[in-house]
Structure 1
Amino acid sequence: MDCLFCKIVEGTIPSEKVFEDEFTYVFKDVNPEAPVHLLIVPKKHITSVDYLEEKDKELIGHIFLVAKNLAKEFKLNNGYRIVNNTGEDGGQSVKHLHFHLLGGRSFNWPPG
């Protein structure tokens, strides 16, 4: 498989890892949009939200608990944003499900 995030998870492509467990790999975004900009990636390759199955619901719950714990670790006490882009019109650039954890500044709505 020629997936950028799969290669990062396996260590073929270097990244600035901040957390890893048996289900997820988290690293700093190379083009940060906020003082804290982390990418939370499931180790299991799932193309996007559109490809989630019933059996993935525990994984998704786990990802959000990882995000909560990282927000606490990075002292995002005033709030943070979790973003998932799905499909071309949704702005998904890497075809591997991932979540952006952004914080350390104020955000507007809608995002743009």
Structure 2
Amino acid sequence: MSDPVSGKPCVFCEIIKGERPAYVVLDEPDAVAFLDTRPLFKGHTLLVPREHYETLTDLPAELVGPFFQLAQRLAGAMESTLDAAGSFVAMNNRISQSVPHLHVHVVPRNRKDGLRGFFWPRGKYESDAEAADYASRLAEAMTVQGR
């Protein structure tokens, strides 16, 4: 698979095929996990589906549960094996997605490790009415998608 923007081969697909080196942490029939080459903290792991899907919304519904069960196992391994107090589990969809192949970051965390919450500024709604409007529109979309 190729990057739709650059036309270059997908780095993660190359890792999955064994064409590019990586420190593999997990090799399952539907997913692979490997160390991030630019980790936030040592042990920072990327979990990717073996099949190329660009975003979470592209991942078939029947794979979502098994995929996130692997993320759950990785988060547990951060604590049991790396003596981390917890973990940070995150993904980007398109925006800030450095490789356009669905991937979940699982990062070991400890108190006072220097990572401060989210990496972007947080804001507020202008009013309760504005918050209610956002909630209503999202709830309606969820109802339509659930059908």
Category of TM-score, reference length = shorter chain: 0.7 to 0.9
Q: Distance in 2 between matches of 1:32 and 1:19?
A: 17
Structure 1 runs (4+) greater than 6 angstroms displaced: none
Higher strand share: 1
Structure 2 residue 49 is the aligned partner of structure 1 residue 69: no
Q: How many residues align?
A: 107
Identity of aligned residues (%): 31
The one-letter code of the counterpart of 2:20 is I
Which residue, out of 112, 115, 119, partners 1:111? 119
CA contact (8 A) 1:42 1:98 kept: yes
Structure 2 residue 109 is the aligned partner of structure 1 residue 101: no
Of the two, which has the highest radius of gyration?
A: 2
Which residue, out of 56, 59, 62, partners 2:63? 59
Q: Relative contact order (C-alpha < 8 Å, sep 6+): which is higher? A: 1
Per-residue CA deviations over 1:53-105 (Å, capped at 9, x if unaligned) read xxx12322112111211222232663211111111xx2111011111001133
RMSD over aligned Cα, in angstroms?
A: 1.7
TM-score normalised over the length of structure 2: 0.65
Shift of 1:48: 1.5
**Unmatched segments (≥5 aa) in structure 2:** 2-8, 121-147
**Unmatched segments (≥5 aa) in structure 1:** none
Which residue, out of 44, 49, 56, partners 2:51? 44
